[in-house]
Chains A and B, each alone.
Chain A
Amino acid sequence: MPDVVSNVVFDVAVIGAGPAGLAAAARAVESGARVAMIDDNPRPGGQIWRVSRLPEPWLRSQVELFSGARVFAAPAAGVLALERSDSSLELRYRSLILTTGARERFLPFPGWTLPNVMGAGGLQALAKSGLPVNGKRIVVAGSGPLLLAVAKYLRDHGADVRMIAEQADSSAILRFGLGLIARPAKLIQAIGLRAGLLGVRYLTTCWPVGAHGVERLESVTLQRNGKTWTEPCDYLACGFGLIPNVELPALFGCRMSETGVAVDEYQQTSVADIYGAGEVTGIGGLDLALVEGEIAGYAAAGKPQDARKLFAARTSNRQFADALERAFVLRAELRNLPQDDTFVCRCEDVTYARIRQCSNWREAKLHTRCGMGPCQGRVCGGAVEFLLGWKPDSVRPPVLPARVGSLARP
């Protein structure tokens, strides 16, 4: 039974306090709505802005912020079941905006389960959480512009960034770079990042094939143009792009598109009064997330005429996102990374050989427990989708491990 059942019915509830969610909340408040904002992290800002209070220009004291709260179920229409570290509560809403963001795609390779092999954004998050990286030897690897941003952040904080290994080839990146010329602000941002990394090797068509160590990472073997070599390092920061966090939208019955949650021009999902904005609708970066959030915020608060004014800005940002996706598409050779004895599911320690014997996700879950551990397939799902082409199963509540006391209802 929930400890608190709020009698307040919020006009708009926003799940996810990253850029899209903050932009949505700000526009909904501006439109006169009473807004609740829920995020499972202790502080708002999402993964990109980890801040202690809502950042300008999205600072709005009228938003009721529920930090450190995880939505684990939707017990009835217009009701969210939330769990905090010591309590659970039910929250009521009229419109819902899902801005659940994205996570990194991890690909399994021998040794990837060793301590200090982390996501690229993962290591940056840990550094932002207080981990000193000063003097640490770090290899950054995987794919996408996030690698550059992470490498720069780590270097600015004193890390010895040994190299950046990007799996895409240089011609694809060059085409992407040329595409930026049409968008000066983006170009300046990209050059600034590169300049900050002067002296750091940026190797394209290069990826890790093995991580080595006993209790923790000691070195990583990289491959490029048929050659392999081993780099000693303290951390490997490795992520292969981003994938949208669609578990909550799936719980609400929202239809999916090829890229994420399907939305109409007002960012409304296939379910009435439920909106989606930002990375959850498809990976598109900060600027697109902000404008989608604003559109969703206006629309959810009953101001479609204000939302329409932002459609052109969204189209322009969408083009940038499409170019990004084309440049950093994952190469087929990466499907050869996991060996028979490489764990793909880290929660249940299920090897690639066992998973490959199955013919779909459901069979793998039933026969191997792949995706049945605490992360509920959030890590292995993205890998298996790339490796074997399986789409994850349906989502059932609780979408995350929850306490029995939170689940019991009178």
Chain B
Amino acid sequence: MQTRPETLRLRVDGLTIDVPAGSMVSAAVAMAGASRFRTSVTGQPRAPLCGMGICFECRVTINGRPHCKSCQIPCEVGMEVETDA
């Protein structure tokens, strides 16, 4: 895996993307073009609202662990992120 030191390479829904080091997973998901982070209990698309860990709308699966709050988790090299889309 080749990444410049100032960027990190990870995958969002199978798509490889490079993000600036220090980015949160929420930003990476949005940069990958996904607008639906999770699906609500009645099937609606949802995405971050508060940006600070209060609303739980930014939940995604990271490295197989579900319900991770993507707004509060920094991106790491090689992360596998899956949205609910």
Interface residues in chain A, defined as those with a beta carbon under 8 Å from any beta carbon in chain B: 40-42, 47, 52, 68, 85, 103-104, 106, 113-119, 121-126, 129-132, 215-216, 245, 343, 346-349, 373-375, 378-379, 401
Contacts and interface: CB of A to CB of B under 8 A. Distances in A.
A17 to B, nearest CB: 13
A126 to B, nearest CB: 5
A349 B31 CA distance: 27
B54 A103 contact: yes
A68 B74 CA distance: 10
A278 to B, nearest CB: 15
A40 B30 CA distance: 22
Contacts of A131: 26-27, 30-31
Interface string B19-40: 1101110111011000111001
Contacts of B26: 126, 129, 131
A124 B50 CA distance: 10
Interface in B16-74: 19-20, 22-24, 26-28, 30-31, 35-37, 40-42, 44-57, 59, 67, 71-74
* Secondary structure class of chain A's binding surface, majority of residues: loop
Contacts of B74: 42
A125 B42 contact: no
B27 A47 contact: no
A131 B25 CA distance: 10
A40 B69 CA distance: 11
B45 A122 contact: no
B55 A126 contact: no
Given A130-B24, A215-B35, A346 B73 contact: no
Contact of A349 (B41, B45, B73): B41
Contacts, number: 116
Given A52-B22, A124-B51, A131-B31, A215 B36 contact: yes
B7 to A, nearest CB: 11
Contact of A375 (B47, B56, B75): B56
Contacts of B31: 130-132
B22 A379 contact: no
A346 B51 CA distance: 15
Given A129-B24, A132-B31, A85 B73 contact: yes
Contact of B51 (A85, A125, A245): A125
A122 B35 contact: no
A131 B55 CA distance: 18
Contacts of A119: 49-51
Contact of B56 (A40, A116, A126, A347): A347
Contacts of B53: 40-41
8 contacts: A42-B72, A68-B72, A113-B44, A118-B50, A118-B51, A126-B30, A130-B22, A343-B44
